[in-house]
A = this chain, B = another copy of it.
Amino acid sequence: MIPLPGETIRWEEAAGEVSLLDQTALPARVQRIRCRDVERLAEAIRRLEIRGAPALGLAGAYGVALAAARSREPDLPRFLAGVAESAELLRTTRPTAVNLSWGIDRVLARVRAARSVEEGRRVALTEAKAVAEEDALTCRRIGEHGAALLPDRCTVLTHCNAGALATSEWGTALGVVRSAVAAGKEIRVLACETRPLLQGARLTAWELVRDGIPVTVIVDSAAAALMQAKEVDCVIVGADRITRDAVFNKVGTYMHAVSARFHGIPFYVAAPHSTFDTGSTAADIVVEERDGDEIRFRGQEPVVPARAGVRNPAFDASPLALVSAIITEDGVMRPPYDFTAAGKRREAP
């Protein structure tokens, strides 16, 4: 297991631009996308060329740095106004993952405190890189705390991708798996393919195969039957937003939470504090409804009759009552969850 810093997203020093691994091309092609301006980065976020809550935090942070670097505005107030405008463009690309706004706001705060355009550019980039470095460290800590929960020779079921590709490196849910493997445990992963965009089949399987960790892909709806057959020891997923009462994550997560509870299997969430939004409740959160064409077409082929309706919510909300533990960089939280410290940390990063 070789961590590859900056593989998911990084600042390209020579070109002064952001590059990211094109997650829509995997596993067939490994190719990078170069974002010369914020518009292209915003497009990359909308198209899910980069996705995953912590990685979206990095995209937000680098996006503000990119806006600052690209600005040709010599006047500080107008420079700041332009950067703020770019920040809002980025913020509206995806509504549910809280980390995107978190990354944007963190860098924006530094830029706003700058006394010159030059300083604004410099502190933006420094802060964005700091966000990425901290994320790498955060994932390692999540991994170490979570690894203690996994017995040797166990099978972990996961949904979507909460791995290196969803973070700066190492991953959250898959970070727990990686740290357990690094500690000498034999861990097998059941990766739910994750319809409609197959992040589990395409991304989770790809990064685990590369690390030599045994991974088996199943259709999402087979998870409950494998739990029934006692082939799943625990479920670990990431999170896009954790409110006071629920974990928002890729649609299907709630189904696994219900099945895990029914079968008496632990259901763990691995997420950094930047995912916490404990000032909100589930009812406050907008769940992104994505384009129905993601379901209507398989490649170019229509698989749903044109006159049928389609609903394509990207996320669902698992009540905390179904969550056995939340693994953060500070340790393992158990019910009843006390978010006092987490909330403070979130408000004052």
Interface residues of A (CB under 8 A from B): 27-28, 159, 191-196, 198, 201-202, 205-206, 208-209, 214-226, 228, 251-252, 254-255, 258-259, 261-262, 295-296, 298-305, 307-313, 316-317
Pick the contact of A295: B196, B217, B226 (CB < 8 A): B217
- In the complex, what distance in Å separates the CA atom of A259 from the CA atom of B225? 12
Known contacts A262-B262, A302-B27; A308 and B209 CB within 8 A of each other: yes
> In the complex, what residue of chain B is closest to A302 when comparing beta carbons?
B28
Determine the chain B residues whose CB is within 8 A of the CB of A196 once the complex forms. Answer: 219
7 further A-B contacts with Cβ under 8 Å, apart from A27-B303, A222-B251, A225-B255, are A27-B304, A208-B308, A216-B308, A217-B310, A220-B220, A226-B311, A261-B262
Task: Name the 3 nearest CB pairs between A and B, nearest first.
Answer: A221-B252, A216-B309, A225-B316
In the assembled complex, the CB of A215 is this many whole angstroms from the nearest CB of chain B, namely 5
Known contacts A219-B220, A258-B262, A298-B198; A209 and B316 CB within 8 A of each other: no
Determine the chain B residues whose CB is within 8 A of the CB of A251 once the complex forms. Answer: 219, 221-222, 225
Determine the chain B residues whose CB is within 8 A of the CB of A313 once the complex forms. Answer: 222, 225
Q: B301 and A224: CB pair below 8 A?
A: no
Q: A225 and B198: CB pair below 8 A?
A: no
Q: B205 and A308: CB pair below 8 A?
A: yes
In the assembled complex, the CB of A245 is this many whole angstroms from the nearest CB of chain B, namely 13
Determine the chain B residues whose CB is within 8 A of the CB of A303 once the complex forms. Answer: 27, 193, 198, 201-202
Q: B295 and A298: CB pair below 8 A?
A: no
Determine the chain B residues whose CB is within 8 A of the CB of A228 once the complex forms. Answer: 254, 316-317
Q: B304 and A255: CB pair below 8 A?
A: no
Q: A205 and B28: CB pair below 8 A?
A: no
- In the complex, what distance in Å separates the CA atom of A195 from the CA atom of B252? 13
Q: B305 and A209: CB pair below 8 A?
A: yes
Determine the chain B residues whose CB is within 8 A of the CB of A159 once the complex forms. Answer: 221
In the assembled complex, the CB of A288 is this many whole angstroms from the nearest CB of chain B, namely 13
Point out which of A219, A298, A312 has the most chain B C-beta atoms below 10 A from its C-beta.
Answer: A219
- In the complex, what distance in Å separates the CA atom of A217 from the CA atom of B316? 17
Determine the chain B residues whose CB is within 8 A of the CB of A300 once the complex forms. Answer: 299
- In the complex, what distance in Å separates the CA atom of A295 from the CA atom of B61? 36
In the assembled complex, the CB of A23 is this many whole angstroms from the nearest CB of chain B, namely 12
> In the complex, what residue of chain B is closest to A262 when comparing beta carbons?
B258
Determine the chain B residues whose CB is within 8 A of the CB of A198 once the complex forms. Answer: 298, 303
Determine the chain B residues whose CB is within 8 A of the CB of A206 once the complex forms. Answer: 305, 308
Can you list 26 A-B contacts with CB-CB less than 8 angstroms, sorted by A residue number?
Answer: A193-B304, A195-B195, A195-B219, A195-B221, A196-B219, A201-B295, A201-B304, A205-B308, A206-B305, A209-B305, A214-B309, A216-B308, A216-B311, A217-B295, A222-B316, A224-B316, A225-B254, A225-B255, A225-B317, A226-B311, A228-B316, A255-B255, A258-B258, A262-B262, A298-B298, A299-B299
